[in-house]
Amino acid sequence: MDLLNTLVDKGLRRELPTREEALAVLATSDDELLDVVAAAGKVRRQWFGRRVKLNYLVNLKSGLCPEDCSYCSQRLGSKAEILKYTWLKPEEATQAAAAGVAGGAKRVCLVASGRGPTDRDVDRVGKTIEAIKEGNEGVEVCACLGLLSDGQAERLRDAGADAYNHNLNTSEATYGEITKTHTYADRVDTVQKAHAAGLSACSGLIAGMGESDEDLIDVVYALRELDADSVPVNFLIPFEGTPLAKEWNLTPQRALRILAMVRFVCPDVEVRIAGGREVHLRTMQPLALHLANSIFLGDYLTSEGQAGQADLDMIADAGFEVEGAGTTTLPAHRSEATAAVAAAPAGGVCGSGSGAAPAAAGCGSACGGCSGHDAAPAQADAGEVRSDLVAVRRRGAGTDLAPNA
The Cα 200–Cα 297 span in angstroms is 20
What is the rounded radius of gyration, in angstroms, for the C-alpha atoms of the chain? 19
**Cα distance between the two ends of the chain:** 41
CA distance 351 to 201: 10
Number of H helices, E strands in the chain: 14, 10
DSSP 22-61: HHHHHT--GGGHHHHHHHHHHHHHHHHTTEEEEEEEEEEE
Measure Cα distances from 309 to 10, 23, 100, 369 in Å: 36, 36, 11, 21
User: Positive or negative CA dihedral for 156, 161, 162, 164?
Assistant: negative
Q: Which residues contact 301 (CB under 8 A, 6 or more apart)?
A: 57, 59, 62, 74, 111, 275, 366, 367, 368, 369, 370, 393
Q: Which residues are annotated as a binding site for [2Fe-2S] cluster?
A: 109, 142, 202, 272
Which residues are designated catalytic?
65, 69, 72, 109, 142, 202, 272
Measured from the Cβ of residue 359, the count of other Cβ atoms closer than 10 Å reads: 31
Whether the Cβ atoms of residue 115 and residue 67 lie closer than 8 Å to each other? yes
